[in-house]
Structure 1
Amino acid sequence: MKTYSQYSLNIVSLVLLLLFSISCSKSQNKKQAVSKKPNVIIVYMDDLGYGDVGFNGGKIPTPNMDGLAKGGLVFKNGYSSSATCTPSRYALLTGLYPWRKKEAKILPGSAPLLIDVDQQTLPKIMHNAGYVTGIIGKWHLGLGNGSINWNEQITPGPNELGFETSYIMAATQDRVPTVYIENGYVENLDKNDPIEVSYKENFTGEPTALDHPEMLKMKWHHTHNNSIVNGIPRIGFMKGGNRAKWVDSTMSKTFLNKAQNFVKENKDKPFFMYYALQQPHVPRTPHPKFVGKSGMGPRGDVIVEADWTIGQLMKTLKNEKLLENTLIIFSSDNGPVLNDGYYDEAVEKNGHHSPWGPFRGGKYSLFQAGTHVPFVTYWKGKIKPGTSNALVSQLDLMASLSSLVQQKIPETDSENLLNTFLGKSNVGREEIIIEAMSRTALRKGDWVMIPPYKGPKVLKNQNIETGNSKEYQLYNLSEDASEQFNLAQSNSTKLNEMIEVYKIITGKD
């Protein structure tokens, strides 16, 4: 027979157990609420054209990119801000048109940081919202405040713009310095073999492609005839840092490993990762595993390799049970180019593949192929698979992701199209200014207006039409996606309307 004290003890135990259960329940609910904050990954390709992917009709096998498209929302009217790399990356991270800043052009590897450290940026917004932020891959937005000492901490850089971790190359694979930089420090640097970099003159005794062609494993076609690294001639001059130099053929795997580690290390926290692949930019140096896989030479092979890389990242997300809580944005910094400085048979082996898709032009061009790029949003179970005809720009990621994480931002050129990116709305922008090599044009609705510009109509080395003309150009993309029929003279009313809108936005006469 139980005593009164025993009954009292049991009651107290039950009360304590109940309180503990309630506390655990609240804690669990709080943990679930935190875990529901979605991870965000931007997968950013380099020189990948609208037609380079299978889901847009490309002939190169891209099953993993196609998988994102099949399971996500494909934007048929998705744009980068610019037809070259540095300006597009500037727009992506700031939400500002790059043509508003005269320095936002293709930068040498020794250029100072293009974005002001006090400026609002996408990684700062995500960091302020409680996200772990990281960049892995191509940077090409400048480093430091002027003269860079590559043998000490390099600052300011991405870590001063909101990225907590960074593993980057300073510019592009075809430019010096040819080293990886982790959180401001050159990886594997031997202080007894200091790095020196110049974009003006060579260092005494250092071989270049012009005076030592016998050292080349890859022949240059135009401009790429300075310092030789791994048998590949580069743009710019470099001395020292031999232990720190990257291996070109393993670059994609190196960046992939860093991206996978970032995901695994931060899987229990909300994270934002800007994953900027270097492919298919020149020099195209596929890993031996992928050589010959496309049948289209090195350019096709590195696209196949990049596709495999994306597949590996997706496997990591799946294995870590993160796919249902991760928004992935896939796009490219600008349109395609075949011959961009090296003899690599990109032209000869292209065959019936159309990197530019149905469009005219390519990288460097004001015609559509310069900025009309692959664009997909993917979020398993959240975004309904399909296609959207909404007009969207990478500029809009700034305002849209700020809305996603409930952060206020100052006014920029970015528009909040979060519902559009998530497939909840078909409404996009009304218009966008596109840019190529500091020249600008307007797309509004289905119409494109290109003002008169001096300069060559065709870039001879790259064999790309620039969009330059002495006359105004007006095209109706709904009827003429390849911009073959200039309607400027036959539709002066629409032309004048477009010119007025262009003047209001750009402030140009």
Structure 2
Amino acid sequence: MRTINILAGLTCAGLPVALCAQQTQKPNVIVIMADDIGYGDLSCYGEKTIQTPNVERLAKGGVRFTDAHAVAATSTPSRYSFLTGHYSWRRTDTGIAPGDAGMIIRPEQYTVADLFKDAGYATAAIGKWHLGMGDKTGQQNWNGLISPGLKDIGFDYSYIMAATGDRVPCVWVENGRVVGLESDDPIFVSYKEPFPGEPLGKTHPELLTVMKPSPNHGHDQAIVNGISRIGYMKGGKKALWKDENINDSIVTHGLDFIEQHKDTPFFLYLATNDAHVPRVPHPRFVGKSGMGPRGDVLVEFDWTVGQVVETLERLGIRENTLIVLTSDNGPVVDDGYQDRAVDLLGKHRPWGPFRGGKYSSFEAGTRIPFIVSYPGKVKKGISKALVSQIDFLATMAEFLSVPLTEEQKKDSREQLQTWYGKDKKGRDYVIEHAGSLAISDGTWKYISPSKKKAYEKLTNTELGNSPEEQLYLLKKDIGEKRNLAKEYPEKVKDLKQVLAKHLACRTTSFDQFDSLLE
């Protein structure tokens, strides 16, 4: 294993032994990945209707980006790109994963976790995963070792939700094995047929004692903890999670990992379930926001951030830890359950000043919170630089002084100087995917034509799809209200050429994007 002395040349003359050790140890890295939390869901981004003081403190101690983007407007493809540096739209199997999906990141792929592990770090993924497990969809051994698993893509330790909150199986998987499973009560999972005798939300609504599904969303199948989910399962009663304890379990295991590795460099991917449906905040947070369960889980998320920072400070390693806080995609209010999120929203704007939301090609689909805090290294303030989550891999390689091959970096590019506040511009452009491809240079944004529906009635979201080309001048029209494609054909042509260059490097064929190559 290659040893890298990141802080070579520093001396500890006159410093206490503990502080000397901290300054010469490789810096720790923690990613706090929120789920469905939008640009306007955190008070540091200007919304007066919500208070998230722990996130605010983190932002004030680092840099808060206002033009940061996820690669996709939904969870699975966004997280895939974040961890691999590879545009998810280059593959056809990176859509929203079912609960029994096989591993979407394959063992042969290079990941951020591989990077840190090769650099001598302890690595962990804790919380929401939604990137599949096992070799093939529907063929996992839920009652034994699920392989391949996260250890095969660079994570030494993993404690993850088997899928996502609204999908079965509703169990924790630790290092490839379901936690708390009893041998005489095995788990069975299906996304094709229900199990005879097992009640479903659509047939036994009287059993939905915690939360009922919104009409026509499909969250009306297997019932777990008084909530119906997507998919069918039976068995594993002692292994089932309690929804109100999901976040506490994530935080507990995350803090335990930090404690265990306080004296050695570590990389922690801490992925919360907040604010994904079904939203069941712990009783400590119920009623705290005045906006119902969705607002309460935002308060719960803020508490999570506070717990992480307080633990680092107590252990004396905060100064030597880089924290990245972000979200996987934009917000959605009603995403499948009757939690009165729409009724209780009031004046709150989860999407901030932008149009669209989760699932959308408009700005609110992919413009997400992005905060970087590293005491003494990151210049404090607000940055308008254009940044993308696709660059996390290459930026961390730059941070560790580890050279990567072009194949390892894939689509990721070094942006450390932007994170440090020395580069005010950031990327030349960002590319996003949500039913169609979009590209923005921070001033202009082009959305490619799409035959898909333009409006999602179930979630009340404008998807941004149109059979016509779209061009918006973001500097003057941040709400993307006026399509200027016909007025500025040369700008359309320029942005299409950039997209075409990237599409020419694709590994699979996409009929819907072929017009961009013409």
What TM-score do you get using the length of structure 2 for normalisation? 0.91
Which string of whole-angstrom CA distances, capped at 9 and with x for unpartnered residues, describes residues 316-368 of structure 1? 01100111000000000000000100111110100101000010000000000
Aligned pairs for 1:355-504 (under 5 A) are 355-411=350-406, 412-437=410-435, 439-504=436-501
The answer to whether 1:38 aligns with 2:27 is yes
Q: Given that residues 39 and 350 in structure 2 are in contact (C-alpha distance below 8 angstroms), is that contact kept between their aligned partners in structure 1?
A: yes
Which string of whole-angstrom CA distances, capped at 9 and with x for unpartnered residues, describes residues 181-239 of structure 1? 00011000001000000000111100001111100021111210000000000000011
Find the aligned partners of 1:427 and 1:129 in 2 and give their Cα distance: 29
Rg bigger for which structure?
1
The answer to whether 1:339 aligns with 2:340 is no
Unpaired stretches in structure 1, ≥5 consecutive residues: 1-23
Q: What one-letter code is carried by the residue in structure 1 that aligns with 2:229?
A: R
Q: What one-letter code is carried by the residue in structure 2 that aligns with 1:49?
A: G
Moved over 4 A (4+): 28-31
Aligned to 1:180: 172
Q: Given that residues 361 and 369 in structure 1 are in contact (C-alpha distance below 8 angstroms), is that contact kept between their aligned partners in structure 2?
A: yes
Larger mean Cα displacement after TM superposition, 153-162 or 275-284: 153-162
Q: Given that residues 25 and 264 in structure 2 are in contact (C-alpha distance below 8 angstroms), is that contact kept between their aligned partners in structure 1?
A: no
Name the % identity.
48
Find the aligned partners of 2:44 and 2:78 in 1 and give their Cα distance: 23
The answer to whether 1:220 aligns with 2:213 is yes
Q: Secondary structure at the match of 1:256?
A: helix
Q: Structure 1's 33 and 341: CA in aligned 2 closer, same or farther, altered over 3 A?
A: closer
The answer to whether 1:320 aligns with 2:315 is yes
Deviation, structure 1 residue 310? 1.1
Q: Given that residues 400 and 417 in structure 1 are in contact (C-alpha distance below 8 angstroms), is that contact kept between their aligned partners in structure 2?
A: yes
Q: Given that residues 35 and 268 in structure 1 are in contact (C-alpha distance below 8 angstroms), is that contact kept between their aligned partners in structure 2?
A: no
Find the aligned partners of 1:476 and 1:30 in 2 and give their Cα distance: 50
Which of 175, 197, 200 aligns to 1:205? It is 197
Q: Structure 1's 129 and 34: CA in aligned 2 closer, same or farther, altered over 3 A?
A: farther
Q: Secondary structure at the match of 1:290?
A: coil
The answer to whether 1:52 aligns with 2:44 is no
Find the aligned partners of 2:62 and 2:87 in 1 and give their Cα distance: 27
Q: Given that residues 226 and 237 in structure 1 are in contact (C-alpha distance below 8 angstroms), is that contact kept between their aligned partners in structure 2?
A: yes
Which of 95, 110, 121 aligns to 1:131? It is 121
The answer to whether 1:103 aligns with 2:93 is yes
Which string of whole-angstrom CA distances, capped at 9 and with x for unpartnered residues, describes residues 102-148 of structure 1? 10110001011011101110000000001110011011111111201
Deviation, structure 1 residue 455? 2.2
Aligned to 2:511: none
Find the aligned partners of 1:46 and 1:436 in 2 and give their Cα distance: 17
Q: Given that residues 225 and 235 in structure 1 are in contact (C-alpha distance below 8 angstroms), is that contact kept between their aligned partners in structure 2?
A: yes
Find the aligned partners of 1:451 and 1:123 in 2 and give their Cα distance: 33
Q: What one-letter code is carried by the residue in structure 2 that aligns with 1:149?
A: N
Aligned to 2:5: none
Q: Secondary structure at the match of 1:74?
A: strand
Find the aligned partners of 1:282 and 1:29 in 2 and give their Cα distance: 43
Aligned to 2:152: 160
Q: Secondary structure at the match of 1:288?
A: coil
Deviation, structure 1 residue 33? 8.1
Q: Given that residues 284 and 302 in structure 1 are in contact (C-alpha distance below 8 angstroms), is that contact kept between their aligned partners in structure 2?
A: yes
Q: What one-letter code is carried by the residue in structure 2 that aligns with 1:118?
A: E
Aligned to 2:7: none
Aligned to 1:12: none
Aligned to 1:189: 181
Find the aligned partners of 2:497 and 2:348 in 1 and give their Cα distance: 38
Q: Given that residues 92 and 397 in structure 1 are in contact (C-alpha distance below 8 angstroms), is that contact kept between their aligned partners in structure 2?
A: yes
The answer to whether 1:283 aligns with 2:281 is no
Find the aligned partners of 1:501 and 1:399 in 2 and give their Cα distance: 21
Q: Given that residues 129 and 406 in structure 1 are in contact (C-alpha distance below 8 angstroms), is that contact kept between their aligned partners in structure 2?
A: no
Q: Secondary structure at the match of 2:55?
A: helix
Which of 104, 107, 110 aligns to 1:120? It is 110
Find the aligned partners of 1:68 and 1:274 in 2 and give their Cα distance: 17
Deviation, structure 1 residue 31? 7.4
Q: CA RMSD in A?
A: 1.7
Which string of whole-angstrom CA distances, capped at 9 and with x for unpartnered residues, describes residues 245-295 of structure 1? 001001101110101110010000000000000110000000111111100
Deviation, structure 1 residue 30? 13
Deviation, structure 1 residue 32? 3.6
Q: Given that residues 35 and 270 in structure 1 are in contact (C-alpha distance below 8 angstroms), is that contact kept between their aligned partners in structure 2?
A: no
Q: Given that residues 227 and 235 in structure 1 are in contact (C-alpha distance below 8 angstroms), is that contact kept between their aligned partners in structure 2?
A: yes
Aligned pairs for 1:202-281 (under 5 A) are 202-217=194-209, 218-221=211-214, 222-281=217-276
Find the aligned partners of 1:312 and 1:33 in 2 and give their Cα distance: 21
Q: What one-letter code is carried by the residue in structure 2 that aligns with 1:427?
A: K
Q: Given that residues 22 and 317 in structure 2 are in contact (C-alpha distance below 8 angstroms), is that contact kept between their aligned partners in structure 1?
A: no
What TM-score do you get using the length of structure 1 for normalisation? 0.93
Deviation, structure 1 residue 29? 12
Unpaired stretches in structure 2, ≥5 consecutive residues: 1-12, 505-513
Q: Given that residues 35 and 269 in structure 1 are in contact (C-alpha distance below 8 angstroms), is that contact kept between their aligned partners in structure 2?
A: no
Which string of whole-angstrom CA distances, capped at 9 and with x for unpartnered residues, describes residues 302-323 of structure 1? 0101111111111101100111
Find the aligned partners of 1:268 and 1:386 in 2 and give their Cα distance: 30
Find the aligned partners of 1:485 and 1:36 in 2 and give their Cα distance: 52
Q: What one-letter code is carried by the residue in structure 2 that aligns with 1:81?
A: V
